Chain A
Amino acid sequence: MWVWFHRMASPPSFYHGAARWIPWLGLLALGLFAHGLYGSLVTAPVDYQQGEGYRIIFVHVPAAWLSLFIYTSMAVAAAIALIWRMKLAEIYVAEAAPLGASFTALALVTGMLWGKPMWGTYWVWDARLTSELILLFLYLGVIALDQAIEDKRLAARACSLLALVGAINVPIVHYSVEWWNTLHQGPTVTKFDKPSIDMAMLLPLLEMALAMNVYFAAVVLMRMRNELLSRERHARWVARILEPQA
């Protein structure tokens, strides 16, 4: 496994290895989305309190989970980048950030669209919504730092530092609904006892969450390949790729 890990960390093997994974991940995500959407919109039963309006859960919760998952993975990559100066980890931090920002924004907007009919307001400054908004600003901070610093290695150190320090916000987002009293409902899925949600709702929810994760994996690999190619444009392995296949 270590041999494999070491080999994948070299730019050309990552570049070629990722190319093999991306189409399969994309297909898997597409299949999961198609089946998950059918479950979300058609087969999942109507909620006894919220009627059909609750169906926003099937995009809102996966987006919110992914926003936290991406940030956590960025913090791990940031630590690796700071300690071992691993180039792929640096690239991961920079390339995952825009995707994380977009899923955080999606979680916020779908949350607002859900809040209006159920709570009577698009927004409250409670702990969950505020900490998720801070998460968005952390992502935007990483993106801004990456864009502002010309030297990519230096930019990576700044981004990694911010990503690592900002990780303190992740448990705050997660536990905010338990620590503070709020309009936002408590956890229904990630509880130690049985989830308080019907199986016919839970399965499409998990399926949509898995679909978004697989989708993220495919897209972040595409982005990392591009960035790697751009940064290593003077390397010999890049020249070999560019050669006309005659």
Chain B
Amino acid sequence: MKLRGKAWKFGDSISTDHIAPGRYFHLRSNLPELAKHVLEDARADFAAGVKPGDFIVAGWNFGLGSSREHAPTIIKLAGVSAVLARSFARIFFRNSINIGLPVITVDTSFIEEGDELEVDLGEGTVKDLTNGKEARFRPLSPQLLRILEDGGLIEHIKKHGDIVL
């Protein structure tokens, strides 16, 4: 699967409170409305400016904190094609796979704000088309890649009738 879009840069330790703030707790059953506030407390310009296909590019421990799946869900709803970070918090990583949002663990330091990126999930490559640099990452395990490619855990179970590792 090849993805292409523009990079939005974030720092380290972006928490689920940054992504889906608690003050919008009452919007959790209204995800399109909640998505208007995605990452509001990290970058106020993100929700209004993000375009379908764009990438979130971050540092260490992206998505730390609560188990709220609403966090990766509204990132996906905002049109983001994948999150690239130096590392992910465990629950956010798992939630992302389960809802079909690609999460890529890779050294992101060579990517600048606004760069045009091309990501190949199966090959494990990130190409920065703006500065010509490239990085490789270890593709997801075959089990996780299958869940992701099925469109998340629910679609995976509907397709196979069970969890198939």
A binds B: no
Interface residues of A (CB under 8 A from B): none
Interface residues of B (CB under 8 A from A): none
